[in-house]
Amino acid sequence: MTDDKDVLRDVWFGRIPTCFTLYQDEITEREAEPYYLLLPRVSYLTLVTDKVKKHFQKVMRQEDISEIWFEYEGTPLKWHYPIGLLFDLLASSSALPWNITVHFKSFPEKDLLHCPSKDVIEAHFMSCVKEADALKHKSQVINEMQKKDHKQLWMGLQNDRFDQFWAINRKLMEYPAEENGFRYIPFRIYQTTTERPFIQKLFRPVASDGQLHTLGDLLKEVCPSAVAPEDGERKNQVMIHGIEPMLETPLQWLSEHLSYPDNFLHISIIPQPTD
């Protein structure tokens, strides 16, 4: 891959200032003060909220505590979605800090997966990395790695260590010199306007005539409503890592530089309100 470390670092160290507030119906022995954190965009909520959990459990009785979960303006937050994706999709137009509500009871079984341990997060993360490599390299790169390499990927993410993670991840971002990119681009497109979790299809980074496909080419083919207003006024915002890449940006470059640690491009389509 092109060695553009500044872009990779900026993406990795992206943070969202967040205010965690205990749900008003939770039973406490004394008033629960809000808790503030800078959340890493590339991580997962259940990886970085131990301090939040400890903070609120101090004011609660043990019998009133069950599995912790989070919600933003009535929407339960999926722990298996990267934090940056959740913010872009649900709160990108709101003022900072991001206000998240903390719950310890009434777990929303229909909306969220249970997350009993960090082993579950690791299993989900590695499953995504393996799926991405199957698309990019027919699984050849991930299968040639040793178990300690897989562990280093995970520990780099869990411990927020950029160099530790990228020492291994760069191998997943390489491709043969005679080719112009990956076999297929691992991507998922999310929309709040549909019940479908996301759109994911096979899409090559290079056209049959050798031209590099762009973000606009991808959207026109797999999600045309994202680039064409459904009516005369409404337009959509296309976000990856909190930025709006130009539609002319080559998809291969985006995949190498703006993929999340799970090696997927997570693309949010946000309808813009009409004036």
In a domain, 275, yes or no: no
Average of pLDDT values for 189-205?
A: 89
Domain of 202 in residue numbering reads as 187-265
Task: For residues 98 and 123, state if they share a domain.
Answer: no
In a domain, 64, yes or no: yes
Q: What pLDDT does 229 receive?
A: 59
Task: For residues 129 and 85, state if they share a domain.
Answer: no
Average of pLDDT values for 14-36?
A: 89
Which of the listed residues 103, 138, 162 is the one where a domain comes to its end?
103
In this predicted structure, the answer to whether residue 27 has a pLDDT above a threshold of 80 is no
Query: Which of the two residues, 105 and 266, has the higher pLDDT score?
Result: 266
Above pLDDT 70, what percent of the chain? Answer: 95
pLDDT digits (tens, 9 = 90+) for 7-18: 999 999 999 999
> pLDDT band at residue 116, thresholds of 50, 70 and 90?
confident
Task: For residues 40 and 97, state if they share a domain.
Answer: yes
Q: What pLDDT does 193 receive?
A: 79
In a domain, 60, yes or no: yes
Give the CATH number of the domain where residue 59 resides.
Answer: 3.10.20.620
pLDDT digits (tens, 9 = 90+) for 204-236: 999 988 899 999 999 999 988 777 655 544 478
pLDDT digits (tens, 9 = 90+) for 31-60: 889 999 999 999 999 999 999 999 998 887
Average of pLDDT values for 11-26?
A: 93
Which of the listed residues 70, 103, 136 is the one where a domain comes to its end?
103
**21: buried, middle or exposed (CB in 10 Å: 19+, 13-18, 0-12)?**
middle
> pLDDT band at residue 163, thresholds of 50, 70 and 90?
very high
Q: What pLDDT does 232 receive?
A: 44
Give the CATH number of the domain where residue 217 resides.
Answer: 3.10.20.90
What's the mean pLDDT when you consider all of the chain?
A: 90
- How many domains are contained in the chain? 3
Average of pLDDT values for 194-206?
A: 90
Average of pLDDT values for 19-40?
A: 88
Expressed in angstroms, the distance from the first to the final Cα of the chain is: 42
In a domain, 178, yes or no: no
In this predicted structure, the answer to whether residue 117 has a pLDDT above a threshold of 80 is yes
In a domain, 112, yes or no: no
Give the CATH number of the domain where residue 156 resides.
Answer: 1.10.246.190
Per-residue HEC secondary structure of 83-147 comes to HHHHHHHHHCCCCCCEEEEEECCCCCCCCCCCCCCHHHHHHHHHHHHHHHHHHHHCCHHHHHCCH
In a domain, 1, yes or no: no
Q: Say if residues 120 and 153 touch (Cβ distance below 8 Å).
A: no
The dihedrals phi and psi of 3, each to the nearest 5 degrees, come to -85, 80
